Amino acid sequence: MLKLAICDDDPKVVTQIRNIADQYFKDTQITSAVEIYQDGSQMLNKAGGSDIFFLDIEMPGMSGIQIAQELRASNKRAKIIFVTGYEEYQSAAFQLHAFSYLIKPFTADDIKRQLEDAIDYLHNDQETPEIFLHTVDGDVRLVPEQIIFVEYKNRKVEIHTTESKYVAVYTMKQMTELLEKFPFVSSHQNFLVNLMHVRRFTCMNVTLANGVELPMSQKRSADFRRRYQQFLYSTFFVL
């Protein structure tokens, strides 16, 4: 069963999206559960495990950006669609890997198209790729998005993940080849960064979502910027 959560402090908007979604699911014969909320913290407590979220950005209490940050900590697979009257939040939405950014006022076709695309991507995400690594403490299996960055140190690599750190006897070239199918880019000869965890960067350093700062070499900064922009546009759709 597909779970959809809608959160907006305007009751007319949540009702409008719910009615459109209900009709879409009826027409497509998709079994679904649709919940509506006007408070972000209540939605997190009751519907944090939903598959698709329609979130307003400017709301009393928790903003849509704050809600999305909380969601991403526990539900990385969910498709988050921001519905807002403002365009200036697109950069923040990029960094949270939102699925889309829909500007109000919207039409029924806009909502249906978002649902159709999000459901297609959810189906394609069913099989999560994994990589196997030989570490000094034994073999481990990791989902690429778990890896925040890789550092080459003392002829070994330190693999920093969201839960732990692993040390393995690989060269950076070998690690680059292992991760080449995923959004990892070198910011420095000794660092390989997962673009999914990048918060911001300059020509001097890269700041990650967990607050860690890594060096950026001057000769790699232009390529890093180009690859990061490609990554954003390949994972985020602006209407």
pLDDT at 236: 52
Closest alpha carbon to 101 in 68, 55, 66, 62 = 55
pLDDT at 14: 94
Distance CA 34, CA 104 (A): 21
Same domain, 107 and 140: no
Distance CA 31, CA 13 (A): 23
pLDDT at 237: 44
Same domain, 18 and 105: yes
Same domain, 139 and 219: yes
pLDDT at 224: 96
Q: Where residue 166 sits, what CATH number does that domain have?
A: 2.40.50.1020
- Buried b / exposed e along 176-206 (16+ C-beta atoms within 10 A): eebbeeebbbbbbebbbbbbbbbeebeeeeb
pLDDT at 239: 36
pLDDT at 127: 55
Same domain, 10 and 107: yes
Same domain, 35 and 119: yes
> What is the total residue count of the chain?
239
Describe the crossing of helices 64-74 and 40-47 by its angle, rounded to 10 degrees.
20
Same domain, 105 and 174: no
Same domain, 103 and 155: no
Same domain, 106 and 137: no
In a domain, 235, yes or no: no
30's CB contacts (< 8 A; 6+ apart) are 2, 24, 119
Question: To which residue do tokens 């009257």 refer?
Answer: 85
List per-residue pLDDT tens for the chain, 239 residues long.
899 999 999 999 999 999 999 999 999 999 999 999 999 889 988 888 899 999 999 888 888 889 988 887 778 788 999 998 877 777 676 667 788 888 889 999 999 999 999 998 887 665 567 788 889 988 888 888 889 999 999 999 999 998 899 999 999 999 999 998 899 999 999 999 999 899 999 999 999 988 999 999 999 999 999 999 888 876 654 43
Residue 142, helix vs strand vs coil: strand
In this structure, the number of other CB atoms found within 10 A of the CB of residue 32 comes to 18
What is the number of structural domains in the chain?
A: 2
Same domain, 198 and 107: no
Asked if the peptide bond before residue 105 counts as cis, ω within 30 degrees of 0, the response is yes
Same domain, 109 and 155: no
In a domain, 20, yes or no: yes
In a domain, 237, yes or no: no
What domain range is 197 assigned to?
131-225
